[in-house]
Amino acid sequence: MEHRRGHGEAGLTPGRSVKSSAIDHGAGLQQAMRRARALLMAIQRDLRDAEPSQIILCAAMGGFIGVVVDLLR
């Protein structure tokens, strides 16, 4: 994908090329953000209803608490 975009930009002026590249990056970032948000919402939904996921989260956070308590001691 990146390679093809590079070929397309070859005939454009340098300024135009930078602008369109920035727009592409912006759109890509937005898409990535949307995906991340969708993923987080899916995790939220899953965790709300699935007991095993809650247990795994408790385990992970338990390890973190162990570290914090050890440092505070």
Partner 1 sequence: MTWLHVYDFGIPAHRYLSEGIGISRIRLLFVPLIGGLLLGLAARAVRARRFSEIVDPIEANALHGGRMSLRDSIWLTFTTVISNAAGASLGMEAGYSQLGAGLYSSAGRWFRLRRADLRVFVTAGAGAAIAAAFNAPLAGAFYGYELILGSYTTRALAPVVVAAVCAALTQRGMSHMQALFEVGGSFNVPSESYFLFALLGLVAAGVSVATMQAVTWTERGLRASKVPDWTRPAIGGVVLSALALFAPQVLGSGHGAVQFHFDLRSTLPALAFLLVMKLLASAVSVGSGFRGGLFSSSLFLGTLLGALFAQTAAYFSPALASEHNVFMLAGMGAVAAGIIGAPLTMVFLVLEATGDFQVAIAVVIAVTISSTIVRVLFGYSFATWRFHQRGLSIRGAHDVGWISDMNVGRLMRSDAKTVPENLGLKALRAAYPAGSTKRLYVVEGSGHYIGTIDTADLHDSEIDDALDGAVAGDLAEAPEQFLLPSENIRSALARFDTLQVETLPVLLSRSQPTVVGYMTEAYALKRYSAELERMRSAELGQRDLFSIGPLPSSKTPVP
Please identify which residue in 30, 32, 36, 54 interacts with partner 1, judged by CB under 8 A: 54
Q: Return the DSSP state at 1.
A: -
Which of 35, 51, 52, 53 has its CA nearest to residue 43? Answer: 53
Quote the CA–CA distance of 55 and 53 in Å, as a whole number: 5
| Site map (CB under 8 A) of partner 1, residues 12-51, x = contact | -------------------------------xx--xx--x
- Extract the tokens encoding 64: 């973190």
Find the shortest distance in angstroms from Cβ 19 to partner 1: 38
List residues binding partner 1 (CB under 8 A).
43-44, 47-48, 51, 54-55, 57-70, 72-73
